[in-house]
Each structure stands twice: as C-alpha cells, then as structure tokens.
Structure 1
C-alpha cells in the first residue's frame, strides 16, 4: 500500500484477471512487506485464492495539475514482492499477449 500511496480505508477498485469480476471496496492495511492481499466481506465471493488482480486507486485533480500528473504503477511478482514501479504503461494491441 505504501509503495502505491494507498491509504488505509481508501476506496479502491479491484479487477480480477481470472474471472473478469470488477468491484469497489476499501483498502485494509496488512503487515508491512507481507505481500498479503485479502478480499473480505461480500467481495470475497468474487475472488478465489490464487487469482491475479489489479488494484486501482483514483484521484481527481484540477486541469492545470492534470498536465503534470503522473500515475504510480506498482508491479509485483508471483509472491507479491515489488518487481517494478513505473509512471506509464505501454498500450498493447488487442491481439498481443
């Protein structure tokens, strides 16, 4: 959460790559550097242990600030250890995997 600047109880959107589920929830802090991602409550019915998820957090900025705003993209490995942090993503053609 710290690497992505996500605060405890901040609203986030979760996208499940495995089953296509998309839902909004809030972030709950786990032990630092544990790599733990937990989905609790009703949302837990939408994700299975081992699923790959994308977690999104948004903010609204004024137009003047938007021109200089850079997102923070935190990529993790199969153990949820930080592998890379970027400020942009390369768009892929829909047929490229």
Structure 2
C-alpha cells in the first residue's frame, strides 16, 4: 500500500560517488512519516526515470533532496521528483489506511499535508495552468 508521498520535490544535489540512497531533509521525512533506511521509490517528473533506494536523513530545515550513488546518472539537480513510500499491512488496516501526502514548494518547504494521493495543489505549477504535461503547453485555438 502507498503509505506516503513527497510530491514535486526539487533535487538539490546529486553525488555519483556517494555510496547510494536519497538524502531527505529530516523535516520532510517526519512530515511524510518516512524512517531513515526506509525503502522508497523515486519518480523523476522531468525525464520519467524511476528507481528504488532508501532514505537517509539530511539536516532539518535544509530542504535537501540529494540523489546519491548510481542514481545520480538518472536524476539531476533541479529535477522535480516524487518520493513514494509503500508498506505492507493486514487487509483490515489497508482498507482504512490513509497515506501521508506532503506537498512542497520549490525550496522543498512543506506547503500542505493531506491523505489523497491524487490531490494536487492548484495550480500544480504556479503560472502554468495551461500545461497538459510537464513539457507541453496547450495553445487555445
């Protein structure tokens, strides 16, 4: 089950020579209910790359989203990513479970908390209300 999501975070560093993982501001880990060492999936909005890694805490209030190790070949500084946590639970718990959804601004500061993984801030990207996809604009006829 989806347990948490940090939506549209901005990658602030990428270190190919680090031993692996994703460094996440500890405030964001807390907001999302993610633990150090927890497995997460990362989806790069800019290029479509997807990967699985684990979390390590970064300094509180720093806004750090650091892609470490080989993943730095897939995800780059400035890319927007979705960081997703999943968990296993019994059927009864899964039916009533509410994931923790964290919305952030471009500085990776929390702007909203919710439970609906399909909910997005309005507009998703300020000033880009006419975007159909991240790389295409709708031009009215």
TM-score above 0.5, yes or no? yes
Deviations 1:46-75 (A, max 9, x none): 111100000000011111111210010001
| Structure with the larger strand share | 2
C-alpha distance in structure 1 between counterparts of 2:132 and 2:68, whole Å: 34
| 2:58 is equivalent to residue 30 of structure 1 | yes
| Higher RCO (CA < 8 A, seq sep 6+) | 2
| 2:79 is equivalent to residue 51 of structure 1 | yes
TM-score, length-normalised on structure 2? 0.63
Larger Rg: 2
User: What is the root-mean-square deviation of aligned Cα atoms in Å?
Assistant: 1.8
Residues 99 and 117 in structure 2, CA contact (< 8 A), matched pair in contact too? no
Structure 1 runs, 4 residues or longer, greater than 3 Å off:
89-92
Structure 1 unmatched ranges of 5 or more: none
| 2:108 is equivalent to residue 80 of structure 1 | yes
